[in-house]
Chains A and B, each alone.
Chain A
Amino acid sequence: MSTQTSSPWKSLIGLPENIWRSIFRNPLPSSDLGRVSTSFTNFFLHLHPVKVHRHSLKATFTLGLGLVSFFLFFILVVTGILLMFYYVPSTSQAYDRMLDLRGTVAFGIFLRNMHRWAAHGMVAAVFLHMCRVFLTGSYKPPREFNWVLGVFLLLVTLFMSFTGYLLPWDQLAFWAITVGTSIASYAPLVGKQMKFILLGDTTVGQEALLRFYVLHVAVLPALMGLLIAIHFWRIRKDGGLSRPEEEDALPPDNPTQVEVLQGPAVVMATSPAAAAAAAPLIPKRHYGIQGLVRGPFTKIGNVPDRSVFAWPNLFMAELVVFLVTVSGVLLVSLFFNAPLEEPVNVMHPPNPAKAPWYFLGLQEQVSYSAFWGGVGIPTIEVLLLLLAPYFDRKIAGVGRWFARERLLANFLFLTFVIVNVVLIVIGTFFRGPNWEFVSPW
């Protein structure tokens, strides 16, 4: 615009529009090319594919669990940063700050509730997401490594939750961490050292609180962010979400050509005038950097298939999942307060001293044998999860729930899930003082 006139008055009149256009290069898309450009040129949208397969948008296939996990992490980062403004990782102050969140800080209790419930929700969502990926056979080649990353994400999620558990410095926190770090000390060779480094002392105290705080607010979130980034990137590089082979064989439902010539703007056009001046695009050609790299990518351009444009189909789906997740967390936080027990009393462990629900399966195992329940079996389970895609390599039944071809694999996995759920239920409802069996009725 500035090339056409040098009058300050005209610049002033054009200012709002020029600023707007310098930020958003494309108007709201009204054509296919516009939809492509919008996905491609917007920073927040460009990590999505331009087109996405219809099957990936089926709510009954994904259940949106990966997105739910990510949005819960997002909520946790936001509420966590806000809580950091008032929290002090000191044994003499931490508990008082919890009380302050209840009493004096505006929205303090609400933020703490959101943080606590989103954390519980994230553990559940990540685990269910893993179940979805397994039961639909989505970990098979070429997605093996993304499954491995996913297992690490589950572990980091659990460790995040574990480190956050100590921070309120109440009885629950103290004794859960005392028990948890003792479990770590049963690891062969390095166990004792690991416990000492984790706690910074021989028992849980000020050093441990500081260390857990640093892990919880800096080290682990950074690690989690990095892993999430690679996890998302790999989805694209592995060819999108898994889908059954039949889906690709079905007749395309959008046989029409992309309306390239009618497009209002090419990718880098900064104004309608520039767009009009741009050379007409050649319909047969593929545009974009994706044409330069090889691999199983989502196709763009006028290749007939069963894919739809990410704008608005994928973005609307994501928005819906986001809104559902946020409103779920808000609702739960309105009606249920995060628990806070008595301040730490080093002399008197509560009886029974129970970990958070997702660790109660582990605690139940530990009550039989500290080494096998706390270290041996969990290590074997994690190794089996990590190696599953490298043992089960037959490409059959991918992209469908409970495929008949995968009966054995699904049976084994469901056994693993059910055993763990049963252990958690026993630990939660059937264990009383001295970890003796009690009936909840």
Chain B
Amino acid sequence: MKSKEKPMIEESADGMTRRRLLSWLSGFGLFGSFIITVFSNLIFIKPRATYGQPNRFSIGKPEDFPPGARVSLDERRVCIVRDGDKIAAISTTCTHLGCIVSVSETGFACPCHGSRYDQDGNVTGGPAPRALPWYQARLAPNGEIEVDKDTEIEAGSYLRV
């Protein structure tokens, strides 16, 4: 870069003029601002709080579910399964495209695209790509069962009551 007594654009050794450098810098600034704008808009439209169903909720006392019960809580989109003194919460959201599966003789069946699952939620037919996830269930201090849909657990791990 030459001092200011030279008004003409003069090339430095590597071919970089003041004008060129400034163009690069402003171009970089403009492009950078554009990228930042895009990202801040993406951050803006991704909600930090949701207003729908909470993902952690209480479903009542263990006595509400007699042994052998398979109760589908459609609004919560989980099925509460009790086998003896073991309780589990299995998702009823079809892993294919998000329809609610219904409890059937052999396990679960999806009305949308015909996916079928066994009693433990393993895929037995149809286009579903994965087994139905199991959610963590635990006993809250007040004696009620609390299901946490944010925590998936291994299929076959029950809560003992």
User: Which residues does A use to contact B, with CB under 8 Å?
Assistant: 175, 178-179, 181-183, 185, 193, 196-197, 200-203, 205-207, 346-353, 363, 366-371, 433-436
Q: Is B36 an interface residue (CB 8 A)?
A: no
Q: Is B152 an interface residue (CB 8 A)?
A: no
CA distance A368 to B100 in the complex (A): 19
Q: Is B21 an interface residue (CB 8 A)?
A: no
Known pairs A202-B55, A349-B112 / 19 extra A-B pairs, C-beta < 8 Å: A175-B99, A178-B98, A183-B97, A193-B46, A196-B46, A197-B42, A201-B51, A201-B52, A202-B52, A203-B77, A206-B52, A347-B74, A347-B100, A349-B99, A363-B113, A366-B127, A369-B127, A370-B96, A434-B114
Q: Is B12 an interface residue (CB 8 A)?
A: no
CB of A208 to closest CB in B, whole Å: 9
Question: Could you tell me if B114 and A367 are in contact, using CB atoms closer than 8 angstroms?
Answer: yes
Give the chain A neighbours of B111 by CB distance below 8 A.
349-353, 433-434
**Interface 0/1 of B15-32, CB less than 8 Å to A:** 000000000000000000
User: Which residues does B use to contact A, with CB under 8 Å?
Assistant: 42, 45-47, 50-53, 55, 74-75, 77, 96-100, 109-114, 127, 129
Pick 7 A–B contacts, CB within 8 A, sort by A. A181-B98, A197-B46, A201-B52, A203-B52, A207-B47, A207-B51, A369-B127
Question: Could you tell me if B45 and A197 are in contact, using CB atoms closer than 8 angstroms?
Answer: yes
Question: Could you tell me if A353 and B112 are in contact, using CB atoms closer than 8 angstroms?
Answer: yes
Give the chain A neighbours of B97 by CB distance below 8 A.
178-179, 182-183, 366, 370
Question: Could you tell me if B51 and A175 are in contact, using CB atoms closer than 8 angstroms?
Answer: no
Question: Could you tell me if A202 and B112 are in contact, using CB atoms closer than 8 angstroms?
Answer: no
CA distance A347 to B77 in the complex (A): 9
CB of A56 to closest CB in B, whole Å: 39
Question: Could you tell me if A436 and B99 are in contact, using CB atoms closer than 8 angstroms?
Answer: no
CB of A417 to closest CB in B, whole Å: 25
CA distance A180 to B100 in the complex (A): 14
Question: Could you tell me if B98 and A435 are in contact, using CB atoms closer than 8 angstroms?
Answer: no
CA distance A256 to B53 in the complex (A): 77
CA distance A348 to B99 in the complex (A): 9
CB of B152 to closest CB in A, whole Å: 14
Q: Which 7 residue pairs across A and B have the least CB separation, nearest first? A: A351-B111, A182-B98, A347-B74, A182-B97, A434-B114, A205-B52, A201-B50
Of chain B, the residue at the smallest CB distance from A433 is B111
Give the chain B neighbours of A366 by CB distance below 8 A.
97, 113, 127
Question: Could you tell me if A346 and B75 are in contact, using CB atoms closer than 8 angstroms?
Answer: yes
